[in-house]
Amino acid sequence: MSKSHPVSQDLIVWFSKAQRDLPWRKTNDPYAIWLCEIMMQQTRIETGTRYWHAFLTRWPKVELLAAADESEVLKAWQGLGYYSRARNLLKAARVVVAEHRGVFPSTAEALRKLPGVGPYTAAAISSICFDEPVPAVDGNVIRVVSRIFDVSEPVDAPAGRKAIDHAATALMPDMGCGDHNQAMMELGAVICKPKNPLCQACPVRVHCAGFAAGSHFDRPVKGKRITVKAVEMPMVVLTDGHHVALVQRPQPGIWAGLWTFPLAEDVPEGLGKPNGQAAPPFTHILTHRRLQLSFALRRWEGPSEGGEGAEWRWLTWEEAAEQALPRAMEKIWSDARKSAAKLYI
C-alpha cells in the first residue's frame, strides 16, 4: 500500500491544476530532463527555455552532444553564463555514451557520478524519469521545507541542512515522486517566495508550522555570508579596424576556456597606438567576484598578421564574434566594434 504525507497529498492536487505550462513537463526523457536541470541553474526560465529548445534541436540525442567539440558547445551556451556547466555537460554526455551505452543511470546515486551532476540534479532526474523516492532539494525546496517545519537552525550549517534533508525525505511519497518534487519546486517558485510569500493562496498553509507560529518571514535562517571580491580587469581592444586580438582565458579561472580581449598587463607597452576607450567601463557581477571592466582602444598599424601574442588570435571581427564569448564581452561588443570602425573613417 502506498504512503503519502498530507502535505504531499494537498501539494500534488494543487500542482495538477495550477502548474505552469513548461515544455520539459511533457516528457520523462532523461536526456531532456538532464539538459533542463543543468540549464535552469542560475537562469531565468524564459532564457533557459530558449537554450533548451536550441540544444535539443541541434543535438537531439546524447550521442550527438557527446560527439560535439567543446568550442561548439561553449558557443551554443554563450549567454547562459557559469560556463563550467557547459564543459561538464559535454563531459557527462561522453561518460553516458562511453560507460553507459547512451542510457542514463536510473538512480540518484549513479547519476551523481556524472560530471556536473550534484545531489539535487540527480534526485530530480531519478524521480521525474524513474519515480525514485528521493527528495530534490534546491533553494526553493529549502525555503518551503524550512517554513513548513519551522526550521530554526541556519540552513547553510550542517545541523540545519540535516534537518531540511530529513524533513524533505519525510514528505516524499513512494509513488508519484517526480510530481511531488516538481510540486515542491513549483510552490517555492510561485507561492512560497523569498519575500512577500502568497500564504493566502498556499495549498499547504494549514500544515505550515512557520505560518502558524508567525515565523515564516524569518525562514530560512542563514548564517554564512558570501564574500564578494572586487577584481579590476582592464582590457585592451587591439585592432586595425577589420581585425581584433582575442585571447583564450586559462583554466582554471574566470571565464576559463572562453575568448576575451587581452588584459592590459599582457599587452606590451608600445604595441598599438592609444585611441581612448573602445567602450564604457562597467561592473560585472559573478557569484564571488565583482569585476571592474574597462576597454582601452589601441590602433594596430603593423602588418595584418601582426598584433598576435603567443596565446592570442588575430581575427576578423566576424570571426571573433563566432568564438565563445562571456556575457560581459557581449555587452560591449557592438560598442567596441563601432569604435574600431571609426578609426578608419
Would you name the residues annotated as active-site residues?
A: 37
- Whole-angstrom distance, CA of residue 80 vs CA of residue 76: 9
Whether residue 203 contacts residue 187, with contact meaning beta carbons closer than 8 Å, is answered with: yes
Which backbone phi and psi does 274 adopt, to 5 degrees? -60, 135
Whether residue 300 contacts residue 48, with contact meaning beta carbons closer than 8 Å, is answered with: no
E strands, 27-183, where?
none
Whether residue 178 contacts residue 127, with contact meaning beta carbons closer than 8 Å, is answered with: yes
Of 173, 195, 320, 303, the C-alpha closest to 260 is 320
- What residues pair up with 229 in beta bridges, in sequence order? 289
DSSP state of 101: T
* 127, 129, 132, 136 alpha-carbon torsion, rounded to 10°: -20
- Whole-angstrom distance, CA of residue 199 vs CA of residue 202: 5
- Whole-angstrom distance, CA of residue 254 vs CA of residue 307: 24
- Whole-angstrom distance, CA of residue 97 vs CA of residue 105: 11
Whether residue 190 contacts residue 126, with contact meaning beta carbons closer than 8 Å, is answered with: no
- What residues pair up with 283 in beta bridges, in sequence order? 292
Residue with cell 557592438: 334
